[in-house]
Structure 1
Amino acid sequence: MMLFAVEWQPPRLDTGDLARIAARLRGLRPLESILDDIGDVIGDQDPPAAEAPVLAERLRGDLVRLEDVAVAADDRDPRVAHLVARARALRRREAPTAAHPVTVAHLRRLVGAAEALLERLTETGTLRACA
């Protein structure tokens, strides 16, 4: 049995709804910024210890954005599904507070997940190439 919504109308948004949507859109960083975050970790020098917590938080946000893109686009590629699961597992781990080399290793694992997911989403056509 098929049902059709003949009289369907889009939801009405009031000014408060529109303001919230606009604020969220203004707060979004472009996808290209993920490459900047990756470069901050794998550049010529390790990031300073004082910047590690901020970088870890940004990379977690980058992974969330990439995961959201994969889910929203309904990307059914098995490798994407595996990479999303890996990214989620890494995001759940607390950033180490031990020696700086351990923290850098954690940042590099986050970067590896972000790079792999970004690359695969580009290969599947879910994202266009960023740079």
Structure 2
Amino acid sequence: MRGWEPFDADSLLDDVGTALDDVPPAEKYQKQLAERLRGHLMQLVDIAIGGDAHVKDPITYTLIGHARDIHSMGVPGEPQRVVGHLRRMAWTVNELLERLLATRHLTNVNAA
């Protein structure tokens, strides 16, 4: 329980919005954003697995695999590649969140 963080949809949505914005995040903030997105990814994966969403829904299963693949990648060294990596992570976070909401594994989250 020591490393447990409560689910914070507002923070998640802010980070997704920052990464997917037309204006890329400033280079000095990219690594911090990458770490937060990695945390969001794993928290959503844990929620999905804890609720057996990966067993009940093949789309969730696929998204979990994609999330794990992206999570295992290191942050690229080149700034332009970092932006692409951030956007892939943010897209996956968003897709997994939407899927967990659609399958009712997460509720009471305003993901508008």
Runs of 4+ deviating beyond 2 Å: none
Partner of 2:62: 82
The partner residue of 2:49 within 56, 71, 75 is 71
Rg larger for: 1
- Higher RCO (CA-CA < 8 Å; seq separation 6+): 2
Amino acid at match of 1:39: G
Q: Helix, strand or coil for the counterpart of 2:77? A: coil
TM-score, length basis structure 2:
0.88
Whole-Å separation in 1 of the counterparts to 2:12 and 2:84:
18
1:99-126 deviation per Cα after TM superposition (whole angstroms, max 9, x unaligned): x221100000001110110011110011
TM-score, length basis structure 1:
0.76
1:41 deviates by: 1.0
Whole-Å separation in 1 of the counterparts to 2:31 and 2:3:
23
The partner residue of 1:62 within 11, 19, 40 is 40
Higher helix fraction (1 or 2): 2
Partner of 1:92: 72
1:130 deviates by: 2.2
Unaligned runs of 5+ residues in structure 1 are 1-20
Partner of 2:99: 120
Whole-Å separation in 1 of the counterparts to 2:39 and 2:3:
14
Percent identity between the two aligned chains: 34
